[in-house]
Structure 1
Amino acid sequence: MDVIIVAHTEFGFVHSRKVIPSKSAVDGVKKGVSNLTKIADKYNAKVTFAVMPEVAKYFPKDTSHEIGLHIHSGWGEFNDGDFKFQVGDAYLREHSMQSLTSTVLRDFSYEEQLDMIKTGKDYLIDIFGIEPETFVAGKWSLNNDTVKALIKTRLTRDCSATDHQNPSVYDWSKIPRICMPYHPSPSDYQKKGDLPLLIIPVSQMIYGGNVNPEVIPIYGFAWLKACFLEYYMQNMPVFHICLHSPCMTDQYFVSEMDNFLKFISKHKNINFKFASEIEESEGVSPKTNIQPYISGLNWKIAKVGIKAIQSRGICK
């Protein structure tokens, strides 16, 4: 099994075990990246840091890990409890074409998406001296135009595919819960085709949530381990972990990420890789396996309730 870790590299801090993406919290990049790198190096793991252009100058120097591109379009103010924060990218807002303030990338025209992606990629090349190959869309939001723009700018891997849902900001409803890397169709990014871009979906727990240490306070550590085992017991070729760099400024999440990589690394035939090293998987037929989850059942997950779990379509 190939295991990838994709860190959405952003400003922010942790409050009550929840990431608040505040633009003033530069430690979300400076300390978050450094702490995650130390954990990864401990287990000879690899991290793909999907970097927002506005944070690039705060990224720790001389990293041995992979640099990718992460784009949050537009500019908007949001609330989380007592906190107000902005979503968007200050560098891109100033240096690229954006006729909208929407923070949903797919709302923009092909030309505007292309300009944002090209501008962001060129800036990362200037800062890091390397050409990014991996892309992550803010809010998981992309469409067929985004795929065209990624191919035009020679990005080869996309890590934006999340749970098989269709909220207002993205649509990944057509892909199955356990979905291995695939090349998309020109007519539909959610269907297999032959375009020169590889979509690598985030691994999903049985109720449909991303494999991300930030969900541990809600569902418990056992649920992440169960998801790994569900993939591992079926010989799935890829396991994709995502997270936001600010969570690695908090000792709770640092400890849980360390525990998760320790658990994974104890298994045989595990290969930690960068996202750019992943290839398409052929002849794979994933199935839902509830056994690891039953073994890892805990009070937190029991409170979710059978009805809530079924509403997320676990058998799709």
Structure 2
Amino acid sequence: MEEKMYFLMTNDVEHHSIQLNREDPNIPDQIYNVGLPRLLELLSKYDVLSTFYFTGMFAEQSPESIELVKEYGHEIGCHGYDHSPFRAFDSLKYKEQIIELQRAKDAIEAIGGRISSFRAPALRINNDTVRALIETGFKTDSSIASQRFDGPMSFGSKNKLGWLYAPRNPYNMSYDSPTKKGNSGVIEIPISAALIPYIGTTMRISPTINRVLQKFIFYEAAKTGKPVVFLFHPNECLDIHGKVVTTRRTSNNLEYIFADVIRHRLKLKNLGNSSLKLLEEVLKSAKEYGFEFVNSEEYRKVLQKEHIQR
């Protein structure tokens, strides 16, 4: 009997405007009216069950977005309270992270019911995050991208160097380090990568590179049983209207050049309907390859069942 292969289609829902390179209070309405309907229709076409990680701020401003996602049967997860680079989890102390997590969780659960899955904004966490997740009742995390290398192209890149030696398969996180195995009880479900991340941004910047990367990721999954975890954003489904602005988000000149200017220009490629066409190619390929689409909570239960059977 062949072992099942699992594909986790994950979506981060936040205020970030790709067009303006910053948080934008107009984004929730645009996502609710345009981005989510487009994305949800595509996911339904391929019978994809996925996880939508919402920020607490987004939930407060657009509760109808959470209700819409739940109507389609998808899991609701937590993406912190806001997506500001100045409140990233890798810059917060233990007690500050607990406050941030609880605030976000309360805002989301008031609309969507109980949640247990977390992904940090910009994938930025530190050694205190595991204990903070336990304290606030989270059971899974998906903030580590094993063997992904961003260099200076993202904020928090120094802490992200730990990704290079993180386990590739899902693992119980260590109390002392999120990139090491341990017995914390929080299951890390790493985002797929092989130096280059398997995410919507890569897909849009270079569809050719993404297809090559996908072949390796799919082959590895078939050989090792490792799940495929693809990261996407509903704001990638939005078209550009009006002026493009590269907002400066850091006082560090090197970070500004790479993480703001260069990265922003790359992220502007293939947005809107072009992004949806490329995403459809990804989902169609996964379905034809034989993957079963599951959300983060369902995959956690799969792992628990396999552990019991062993």
TM-score class normalised by the smaller sequence = 0.7 to 0.9
Deviations along 1:15-54, whole A, 9 cap, x unmatched? 4xx9765332231344222222211111111110000111
Question: Measured at CA, do residues 180 and 29 of structure 1 come closer, stay the same or move farther in structure 2, by a change above 3 Å?
Answer: farther
Is the CA contact 2:218–2:228 (under 8 Å) kept in the aligned structure 1?
no
The Cα of 1:256 is off from its aligned counterpart by 0.7
Structure 2 residue runs without a partner (length 5+): 239-271
When the two structures are superposed, what TM-score results if normalisation uses the length of structure 2? 0.73
* Structural mapping, 1:145-224, within 5 Å: 145-164=128-147, 165=149, 169=156, 171-175=159-163, 176=165, 179-205=168-194, 208-221=195-208, 222-224=211-213
**2:274 alignment partner in structure 1:** 252
State how far apart, in whole Å, the 1-side matches of 2:279 and 2:213 are: 11
| Greater helix fraction, Structure 1 or Structure 2 | 2
**1:229 alignment partner in structure 2:** 218
**2:13 alignment partner in structure 1:** 9
- What is the aligned residue count? 252
State how far apart, in whole Å, the 2-side matches of 1:215 and 1:137 are: 19
**2:40 alignment partner in structure 1:** 37
**Letter matched to residue 236 of structure 2:** C
Question: Measured at CA, do residues 21 and 262 of structure 1 come closer, stay the same or move farther in structure 2, by a change above 3 Å?
Answer: farther
State how far apart, in whole Å, the 1-side matches of 2:23 and 2:277 are: 21
CA-based RMSD: 2.7
Deviating 4+ runs (over 6 angstroms): none
Is the CA contact 1:29–1:245 (under 8 Å) kept in the aligned structure 2?
no
Is the CA contact 1:105–1:113 (under 8 Å) kept in the aligned structure 2?
yes
Is the CA contact 2:167–2:181 (under 8 Å) kept in the aligned structure 1?
no
**Letter matched to residue 6 of structure 1:** T
Structure 1 residue runs without a partner (length 5+): 74-86, 89-100, 284-316
SS in 1 for 2:178: strand
SS in 2 for 1:7: strand
Question: Measured at CA, do residues 240 and 43 of structure 1 come closer, stay the same or move farther in structure 2, by a change above 3 Å?
Answer: same
* Structural mapping, 1:47-58, within 5 Å: 47-56=50-59, 57-58=61-62
